[in-house]
Amino acid sequence: MAAIPGQEEQEIEEDASELKFPKEFEQAETLLNSEVRMLLEHRKQQNESQEEEQELSEVFMKTLNYTERFSRFKNRETIADIRGLLQKYQLHKFELASLANLCPENAEEAKALIPSLEGRFEDEQLQEILDNIQTKRSFQY
């Protein structure tokens, strides 16, 4: 694409620590690893119930294995509870997914893993959020 003389194309440098993402991601929603796992399991079950079962791709199976290993929440109710809990705190969708996927144990760890939280939340408030996530995790069936 040729630039018009005298005009510079403004490019926003991507930086997750400052919540700067490319335009393509502005309207995109984030999914938790647990939600991806549920979607992939559903697709796998659909495939298995068909008369002519198709072989699932290697990428599909690797992704399913990854999400099974790193999913923090086991059922839809817990996932919905976690999303509802985190949406109360006006988190960016990247922060919401990161907190739910990583489940840091304390505020210091959360800020190290998700730098955009630094300065937006006091340690006590962030610890309360993390404790609430942990409580919901411990009561899932």
At residue 1 the predicted structure's pLDDT band, cuts being 50, 70 and 90, is very low
**pLDDT tens sequence across 104-129:** 999 999 999 999 999 999 999 999 99
125 neighbors 110 (Cβ within 8 angstroms): no
> Alpha carbon of 103 to those of 2, 47, 92, 124: distances in Å?
45, 32, 16, 16
Task: With a cut of 80, say whether residue 141 has pLDDT above it.
Answer: no
Here the tokens at position 102 are 């990583």
DSSP per-residue string spanning 36-63: HHHHHHHHHHHHHHSSSPPPPPHHHHHH
**pLDDT tens sequence across 77-98:** 999 999 999 999 999 999 999 9
Q: Enumerate residues 6+ apart whose C-beta is below 8 A from 99.
A: 86, 91, 110, 114, 129, 130, 133
The confidence score (pLDDT) of residue 10 equals 55
Mean pLDDT of the chain: 91
Here the tokens at position 35 are 């939600």
Strand partners, 20: 15
The predicted model scores a pTM of 0.84
Separation of CA 111 from chain center: 16
